[in-house]
């Protein structure tokens, strides 16, 4: 799954140009994007024209009775998006790019209660796009929510020891364009929903700051703090190192 990610690059001008975001969309550096947050995306108009957009993370289908449904739909499994009612309509013409530069995953440590977080990026460190789906929900009165989910697939070999799933990272602009294009055949869309190749993937452990979903500071990307040295056994009477 993908439950947290980053868009920490300070290069906003380059980011706007890379994804065609335009000047009207606000871009903020984010070190720890969490479900329910506003996220930077590229959606399309009814005519299929790409546009910069801001969506809420956690898809709320148009038929949902409660917007809190979105917290259960932050990820969509690539294997079943064509069948699940929450996703199959969006798959037709409401595919989107979710702009990021890394995501987090946690690995259990046998000897410690808290899991070890990893920050996972492209090997070249460049920003990229997750494959996403989006929806519009109309609530009571004038309430309107525009929401999204991140599509996931099986993990590549580099990440399989951390988690068995990973978000779909589209490998290049050609794949991004194809994912957005309303005319892309279903078989071609399925081909796009593959794990990023190992050679294009990088990972490194980070400190525990990111484990707090409410925290969004730069130290989410800091190296782990050194482990405390093990306390030596109590010295015996003949151990002169005590003196």
Indicate which residues carry an active-site annotation: 2, 105
d(C-alpha 213, C-alpha 147), whole Å? 19
- Compute how many other C-beta atoms are within 10 angstroms of the C-beta atom of residue 96: 27
N- to C-terminal Cα separation, the chain: 55
Using an 8 Å Cβ cutoff, are 69 and 135 in contact?
A: no
Using an 8 Å Cβ cutoff, are 96 and 20 in contact?
A: no
d(C-alpha 29, C-alpha 52), whole Å? 16
DSSP string covering 80-118, please?
TTTTSHHHHHHHHH-EEEEEESEEEEEE--TT-SSPEEE
The candidate with the shortest Cα–Cα distance to 151, out of 78, 203, 210, is 78
Q: 159: which DSSP letter? A: T
Using an 8 Å Cβ cutoff, are 223 and 117 in contact?
A: no
């Amino acid at each position: 799954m993908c439950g947290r990610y980053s868009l920490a690059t300070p290069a906003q001008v380059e980011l706007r140009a890379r994804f065609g975001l335009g000047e009207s969309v606000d871009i903020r550096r984010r070190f720890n994007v969490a479900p329910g947050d506003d996220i930077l995306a590229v959606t399309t108009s009814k005519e299929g024209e790409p546009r910069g957009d801001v969506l809420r993370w956690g898809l709320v289908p148009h038929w949902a009775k409660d917007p809190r449904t979105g917290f259960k739909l932050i990820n969509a499994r690539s294997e079943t998006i064509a069948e699940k009612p929450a996703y199959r309509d969006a798959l037709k013409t409401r595919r989107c790019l979710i702009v990021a530069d890394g995501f987090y995953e946690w690995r259990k440590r046998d000897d410690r209660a808290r899991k070890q977080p990893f920050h996972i990026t492209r090997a070249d460190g460049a920003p990229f796009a997750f494959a996403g789906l989006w929806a519009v929900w109309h609530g009571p009165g004038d309430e309107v929510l525009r929401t999204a989910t991140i599509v996931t697939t099986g993990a590549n070999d580099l990440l399989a020891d951390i988690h068995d799933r990973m978000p779909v990272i589209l490998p290049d602009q050609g794949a991004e364009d194809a994912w957005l294009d309303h005319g892309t055949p279903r078989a071609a869309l399925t081909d796009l929903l593959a794990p990023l190749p190992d050679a294009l993937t990088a990972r490194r452990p980070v400190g525990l700051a990111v484990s707090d979903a409410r925290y969004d500071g730069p130290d989410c990307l800091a190296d782990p703090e050194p482990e405390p040295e093990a306390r030596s056994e109590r010295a015996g009477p003949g151990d002169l190192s005590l003196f």
